[in-house]
Every structure is written in structure tokens, then in C-alpha cells.
């Protein structure tokens, strides 16, 4: 019996530099031997968003180190690797280029095959890696840079059912935190403040619920929070702790309502699914998770939320998507290019807008 395939994955499309080693198992699954992520959060903290040039330079500096760490954690040598998978887009172009160039160097130096991976496919296939979820399933990807509903029919068969036409939800959480003077990243601080808040005190909009389909919008909601904040400040010359908590709770409830209604709609329109899965940093939100879990239960489907380290950007998901592509015979050569935009479903109409964390594709 041949030895199981070993694959090295690299990720550098946004502000996390990642390297991971996976070993193939039977039935399209794999074991994660190592998964190393070097976050750049501190480098960008002073700028209120990811600075592409700083990100690209930091990736170029860190890639060698995370590869070394990932190999050491896996207890393997580079010569044990059968293929190298790398995020080739979508994302911030400088970062993606850093990863693609590092992967090409390794592939050439080691004489191993190279596989370019779509970052969104990495997220979308994670429930197969973590839970062995069977195709077809519905994936809701909610992060600082992405927001879309994908029907996943196979390792390279995706249909986008809808997505944000402006901000990603994580971006909206971050902006609301900034408006209210709460620390970044905004999601966890808004969630914490919301615990003491009344979600019904302010009448905040539920954008696009009146429109058919599964597209989403979060920019108007953020502006509504800004207006309420300004009215409160004008009326009382400041914000109380309770005002802050109530605004956070109201905003979070509005995001959860919109995502729950659109998820139910997406599930209702796609019979024969094996489950409903989420990925992305915003999927860490407990109020949102509970709402989405209830939506899955009502649809009679299992709900899969991978562990947080595999929900946020990481190289294990890239190695896994690369492994499935490699097993299907899809290999790239040294002409592989970095793509800032790369829709998973090229039949879907392009989504408008590009968030602070890169193209939404």
C-alpha cells in the first residue's frame, strides 16, 4: 500500500501568515499534523484596518518561519512532502503574491507539485475536514472580509446563492465598535457589551429583508447606529454605559435577524442538503450561533460550526482544499498567478464592494 499523501499548505491572503501539514486519510478526509498561524493584528492596530503594504512585507518575512515551525510540529522534513498548496486568491494582492512566490520557490527547490487554492474554497470545505460533512451542504461564510451563502456540491463545485452588496458583517462589527469607542477587533467587544444591553430599545433596520433572494447589506445598519449615537450625544452630551450596551445589543440582534432569515430562505430553496455549516470569525458570536443553530434545527438539518481556529483564516483549510484538488489530478505549474479577485462561482453576478480586508469576490 502506498504511503498516505502529505501536503504542505500556505496562507497569506489577509493579515494571518499560516503554514500547515496534513496527511490524507481514506474517504476524502485528512489528519492535521500541524497548523501554525502568525497573526499581524498588532502591526495594523494603529491604523484601524489592514494596511496592504505592511501585510505583504510581514508575510514575506514570516512565511519561511511558519513553514519551519509547521514542519517541526508535524515531526517531518520538507523532503517528506508530496505537494505544496498555496492560496492564490482572492485577497490582498501583495500578501497573495508573497505566498505564491514562497510556494513556487519550495516547489522548484524540492521538485514537488504545486497546487493553487481559492481561499474561499478553503473556508467552504472546512466542514468536510473537521466533521466529514457530506455534499451537498449549505455554507454561510461570515468574516471580516467575506459574507456569502454557498451551496457546496463537491470539492470544486460551488454555487453562490447570495452575498453582501457592501460591508462584510465582521467589518460592520469592527466599525460599530469604533463608533462606540470599544476596542478592536470589534466583534468580541460588541458581543461582550451587548450582554448587559436591551436589544429592543432602539429601532434599527433589518436591511434587504424586503428583497427576495439571499443578498445581504450591512452598511446602512452601521450608519443607523451612527445616527442613534449622534442623537444620544446631542441630547445628553455623552453616551452612558447603558446606551452603549443597548446599541451593541440592538446592532447584534439586527445582524442575527438578517442572517437567520436569509439562512432559512437559502435552506428552503435548496432541497436535499446534508447540513448547514458556518465559517469565519463572526461565526464565533454566541447569539448568532444560537440563531443559526435554531434555523438548521427548524430545517431538520445538522448544524456544523468548526472550531474557531479552523473558522478563521488558517493554512490547514488551504492544505485540505489543495489535497482534494491534487487527488483529483489538478496541479499548477510555475506560471500560477496571484488573483486579487477569484469568485468561486463564476456564473454568479459579481458582488459590489471591497472591504478593508480585501476583495469579497
SS3 271: coil
Question: Which residues, at least 6 apart from 19, have a Cβ–Cβ distance to it below 8 Å?
Answer: 8, 9, 10, 11, 34, 36, 63, 66, 67, 69, 70, 315
Give least dist CB 15 to ligand KG4, A. Answer: 8
The answer to whether residues 18 and 98 touch, using CB atoms and an 8 Å cutoff, is: no
Q: Residue 312 binds which entry of ligand KG4, Zn ion, none, with Cβ cut-offs from 5 to 8 Å by kind? A: ligand KG4
**Total of residues contacting Zn ion (CB under 5 A):** 1
For the CA atoms of 153, 356, 9, 148, the dihedral, rounded to the nearest 10 degrees, stands at: -10
SS3 277: strand
Q: Which residues pair with 23 in a beta bridge?
A: 6, 31
Ranked by CB distance to ligand KG4, the top (closest) residue is 187
Cα 346 versus chain centre, distance: 19
- Interface pick for Zn ion out of 175, 313, 322, 351 (rule CB under 5 A): 313
Give least dist CB 39 to ligand KG4, A. Answer: 9
The site string for ligand KG4 over 46-65 (x = CB under 6 A, - otherwise) reads --------------------
Taking the least distance from each CB to ligand KG4, the nearer of 35 and 312 is 312
Choose one: 44-52, 180-188, 282-290, 308-316; the region binding Zn ion (CB under 5 A). Answer: 308-316
Determine if the peptide bond prior to 90 is cis (ω within 30°).
yes
Taking the least distance from each CB to ligand KG4, the nearer of 23 and 360 is 360
Phi and psi angles of residue 166, each rounded to the nearest 5 degrees, phi first: -145, -105
Taking the least distance from each CB to Zn ion, the nearer of 99 and 113 is 99
The answer to whether residues 14 and 312 touch, using CB atoms and an 8 Å cutoff, is: no
Give least dist CB 73 to ligand KG4, A. Answer: 21
Give least dist CB 313 to Zn ion, A. Answer: 4
Taking the least distance from each CB to Zn ion, the nearer of 17 and 244 is 17
- Interface pick for ligand KG4 out of 12, 34, 312, 314 (rule CB under 6 A): 312
Per DSSP (E only), the strands in 2-113 are: 6-11, 16-24, 30-39, 83-89
- Interface pick for ligand KG4 out of 14, 58, 259, 278 (rule CB under 6 A): 14
- Interface pick for ligand KG4 out of 313, 319, 323, 324 (rule CB under 6 A): 313
Spatial separation of the C-alpha atoms in residues 168 and 355, rounded to whole Å: 7
HSE toward the beta carbon, residue 270, CA cutoff 13 A: 28
- Binding to ligand KG4 (CB under 6 A) within 153-212 occurs at 170-171, 173-174, 185-188, 191
Question: Following DSSP, what letter does each residue of 330-353 receive, concatenated?
Answer: --B-TT----S---S-TTSPPPP-
250 belongs to the binding site for ligand KG4 (CB under 6 A): no
The site string for ligand KG4 over 267-296 (x = CB under 6 A, - otherwise) reads -------------xxx-xx-----------
| Contacting residues toward ligand KG4, per CB under 6 A | 14, 143-145, 170-171, 173-174, 185-188, 191, 280-282, 284-285, 312-313, 357
| Contacting residues toward Zn ion, per CB under 5 A | 313
Amino acid at each position: 500500500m502506498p504511503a498516505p499523501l502529505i501536503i504542505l499548505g500556505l496562507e497569506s491572503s489577509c493579515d494571518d501568515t499560516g503554514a500547515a501539514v496534513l496527511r490524507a486519510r481514506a474517504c476524502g478526509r485528512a489528519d492535521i499534523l500541524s497548523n501554525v498561524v502568525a497573526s499581524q493584528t498588532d502591526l495594523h492596530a494603529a491604523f484601524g484596518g489592514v494596511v496592504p503594504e505592511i501585510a505583504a512585507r510581514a508575510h514575506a518575512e514570516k512565511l519561511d518561519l511558519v513553514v519551519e515551525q509547521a514542519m517541526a510540529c508535524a515531526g517531518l522534513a520538507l523532503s517528506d512532502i508530496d505537494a505544496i498548496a498555496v492560496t492564490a486568491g482572492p485577497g490582498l494582492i501583495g500578501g497573495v503574491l508573497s505566498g505564491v512566490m514562497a510556494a513556487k520557490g519550495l516547489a522548484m527547490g524540492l521538485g514537488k507539485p504545486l497546487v493553487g487554492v481559492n481561499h474561499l474554497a478553503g473556508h467552504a470545505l472546512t466542514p468536510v475536514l473537521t466533521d466529514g460533512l457530506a455534499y451537498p451542504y449549505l455554507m454561510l461564510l461570515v468574516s471580516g472580509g467575506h459574507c456569502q451563502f454557498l451551496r457546496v456540491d463537491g470539492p470544486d463545485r460551488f454555487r453562490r446563492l447570495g452575498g453582501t452588496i457592501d460591508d462584510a458583517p465582521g467589518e460592520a462589527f469592527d466599525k460599530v465598535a469604533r463608533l462606540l469607542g470599544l476596542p478592536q477587533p470589534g466583534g468580541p467587544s460588541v458581543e461582550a457589551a451587548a450582554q448587559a444591553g436591551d436589544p429592543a430599545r432602539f429601532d434599527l433596520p433589518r436591511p434587504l429583508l424586503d428583497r427576495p433572494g439571499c443578498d445581504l447589506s450591512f452598511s446602512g445598519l452601521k450608519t443607523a447606529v451612527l445616527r442613534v449615537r449622534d442623537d444620544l450625544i446631542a441630547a445628553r452630551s455623552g453616551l452612558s454605559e447603558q446606551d452603549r450596551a443597548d446599541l451593541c445589543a440592538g446592532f447584534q440582534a439586527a445582524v442575527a435577524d438578517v442572517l437567520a432569515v436569509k439562512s432559512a430562505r437559502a435552506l428552503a430553496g435548496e432541497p436535499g442538503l446534508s447540513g448547514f455549516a458556518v465559517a469565519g470569525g463572526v461565526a464565533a458570536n454566541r447569539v448568532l450561533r444560537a440563531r443559526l443553530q435554531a434555523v438548521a434545527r427548524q430545517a431538520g438539518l445538522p448544524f456544523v460550526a468548526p472550531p474557531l481556529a479552523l473558522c478563521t483564516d488558517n493554512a490547514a483549510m488551504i492544505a485540505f482544499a489543495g489535497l482534494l484538488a491534487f487527488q483529483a489530478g489538478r496541479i499548477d505549474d510555475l506560471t500560477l498567478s496571484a488573483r486579487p479577485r477569484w469568485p468561486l462561482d463564476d456564473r454568479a453576478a459579481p458582488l459590489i464592494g471591497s472591504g478593508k480586508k480585501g476583495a469579497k469576490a
